[in-house]
Amino acid sequence: MDRKQGLSLGRDDIVQLKEAYKWITHPLFSEELGVPVDGKSLFEVSVIFAHPETDEDCHFLSTSCPDCFKPAKNKQSVFTRMAVVKALDKIKEEDFRKKFPCPPNSPKSFCSAVEIECAHGAVFVAGRYNKYSRNLPQTPWIIDGERKLESSVEELISSQLLTVFKAESFNFSSSGREDVDVRTLGNGRPFAVELVNPRRVQFTSRDIKELQQKINISSDKIQVRDLQLVTREAIGHMKEGEEVKTKTYSALVWTDKAIQKKDIEFLDDLKDLQINQKTPLRVLHRRPLAIRTRIIHTMETHYIDEHHFRLHLKTQAGTYIKEFVHGDFGRTKPNIGSLMDGTADILELDVESVDVDWPPALND
């Protein structure tokens, strides 16, 4: 029907060819396989058909829109679905009718199935991890193609999940990260793992609990808690809290000059201290140069000896704690050294809590 006749048909009034195809084939698949067909199922069966007789039906479009069909390294043919759709949008009705019969000619041969592929949509697992080692990075530590340490938090957790879910690959994410030499204690740090194309997806809560135990037995460097299946949408809760929540730390501080307990007590009285942090030298290679304002909500000191004390801090997320202690050559102001009118350095750092209320705590 000529577009110029201006039929009062809305987009929803026209049945897409693929929808009609589904109406015809879904009952046939269901009868043949003995299972119901669900168009929104995470399990997909992809069938690639070949039909040489009609392979070149769309080739005439390349003359009407040469720019639509450009070679690409990973494409076997320039006549991709997106390219054809783009060309059809550009060609005029009369030009299309001149080049292609409408309705099209009936094919004389059947198509053949050349490839059948089964795939399952990603499954997501979340939990919280504790890290007890001061020699373990969160993600694989590779510099210039050379691996620096043999393992990582990501691999210790995800390798177990990959095996049990029989997945092709994984993507690991977490609410912030800690340095290789920093422990994560308390209730742990929230994390989520996307398991790509898993072959096994049915798990009971008991199965997941056993999987958690398996991860925890496999290494003394980490422990996992609250392991559970979650939706893709739920992972957003973890990222939402990343920058707005508070975090609690414990630092072992060294001072160059001898101190008494009374010399550090003033730090306990400082509340909501505002600091300015220029991007630390140690992360400048991967973070843009900027000055970030952060808040140190509270501090609590515990005197050890004349050159050491323990500092407990509650801070705004995104605060560089090491730099707040030693000053990073004056790039963080004020810092513990400048507040004490001397030089300070950090010997140990622990994350004691990440105040993100996700994933939900489970009763073990």
179 part of the active site: yes
Please name which of 301, 248, 296 lies closest in space to residue 273, comparing C-alpha atoms.
296
- Decide: residue 231, CB within 10 A, 0-12 exposed, 13-18 middle, 19+ buried: exposed
Question: Read out DSSP for 76-87?
Answer: S-S--HHHHHHH
Chain mean position to CA 173? 4
| Amino acid in position 203 | F
Secondary structure class of 216 (helix, strand, coil): helix
User: What is the C-alpha end-to-end distance of the chain, expressed in Å?
Assistant: 66
Please name which of 348, 323, 357 lies closest in space to residue 183, comparing C-alpha atoms.
348
Token pair in block for residue 216: 């925890």
Cross-strand pairs, 201: none
Token pair in block for residue 20: 């009609």
Distances (CA, A) of 331 to 26, 43, 219, 298: 64, 53, 38, 21
From the candidates 2, 89, 144, 179, give the one annotated as an active-site residue: 179
DSSP state of 107: P
DSSP state of 67: G
φ and ψ of 351, to 5 deg:
-85, 120
Pairing of β 169-174 and β 183-196: antiparallel
Q: Point out the residues that are catalytic.
A: 179
